[in-house]
């Protein structure tokens, strides 16, 4: 990414708290990530949980997707993590956020799966500061559903609806925006990630 893009992201986070970027990565890398995640053995994915640490639990009434954490063991995953780590450095340089690391997982929503309204971090109680969602779905149409709905902070009002189009990146402040994932009519793939600080308990 160019410095102009880094600056655009930083400015949007300061002014609006979120940004939506199309064609975020080179299409070749996005295609490699899609081919990789869509052909992974099913047993590598685990039912997604809600809550963290001692509060962690499975509740398919709230969340019914499956996840698999990224690692540096495959080239396309390593490249994605390297790109996001560079972005972490840029965010720290521009906004002095003190971001310590980045974690990410593939998310697979089979047809009918969803994630009800939630917030990625509770104010002052989480290491997660900035959320990223990168979409890997080629030829996605409006009829396929699966939109990400972002709500105004502390409100029922919808801020934006984002179709999970191939190559689209959504970045927002983790503590600020409640959001949900609507059910889709076919398999939906994304990479959800979080830039984190080293908050001590």
pLDDT of residue 68: 98
**25 pLDDT higher than 60:** yes
What's the predicted TM-score (pTM) here?
Answer: 0.93
Mean pLDDT within 23-51: 94
Q: If 0-12 CB within 10 Å is exposed, 13-18 middle and 19+ buried, where does residue 15 land?
A: exposed
Residue 37 · residue 136 · CB < 8 Å: yes
pLDDT of residue 121: 78
* pLDDT digit string, tens, across residues 50-105: 766 556 677 677 899 999 999 999 999 999 999 999 999 999 999 999 999 999 99
d(CA 172, CA 189): 19
Q: If 0-12 CB within 10 Å is exposed, 13-18 middle and 19+ buried, where does residue 61 land?
A: exposed
Nearest CA to 13 out of 134, 125, 102, 95 is that of 95
What contacts 115, CB < 8 A, 6 or more positions away? 48, 62, 63, 64, 65, 109, 180, 181
Mean pLDDT within 127-148: 97
- Name which of 16-20, 81-85, 122-126, 194-198 the model is least confident about: 122-126
Domains annotated on the chain, with CATH: 3-48+59-196 (2.60.120.620)
């Amino acid at each position: 990414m160019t410095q102009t893009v880094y600056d655009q992201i930083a400015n949007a986070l300061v002014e609006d708290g979120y940004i939506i970027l199309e064609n975020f990565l080179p299409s070749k890398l996005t295609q490699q990530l899609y081919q990789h995640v869509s052909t992974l053995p099913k047993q590598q994915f685990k039912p997604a949980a809600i809550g963290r640490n001692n509060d962690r639990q499975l509740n398919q009434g709230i969340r019914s997707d499956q996840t698999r954490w990224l690692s540096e063991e495959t080239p396309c995953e390593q490249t994605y993590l390297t790109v996001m780590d560079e972005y972490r450095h840029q965010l720290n340089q521009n906004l002095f956020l003190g971001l310590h690391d980045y974690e990410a997982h593939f998310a697979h929503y089979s047809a009918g799966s969803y994630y009800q309204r939630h917030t990625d971090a509770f104010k002052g109680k989480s290491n997660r500061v900035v959320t990223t969602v990168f979409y890997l779905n080629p030829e996605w149409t409006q009829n396929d559903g699966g939109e990400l709905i972002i709500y105004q902070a502390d409100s029922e009002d919808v801020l934006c609806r984002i179709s999970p189009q191939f190559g689209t990146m959504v970045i927002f402040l983790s503590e600020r925006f409640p959001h949900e994932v609507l059910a889709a009519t076919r398999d939906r793939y994304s990479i959800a990630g979080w830039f984190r600080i080293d908050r001590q308990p």
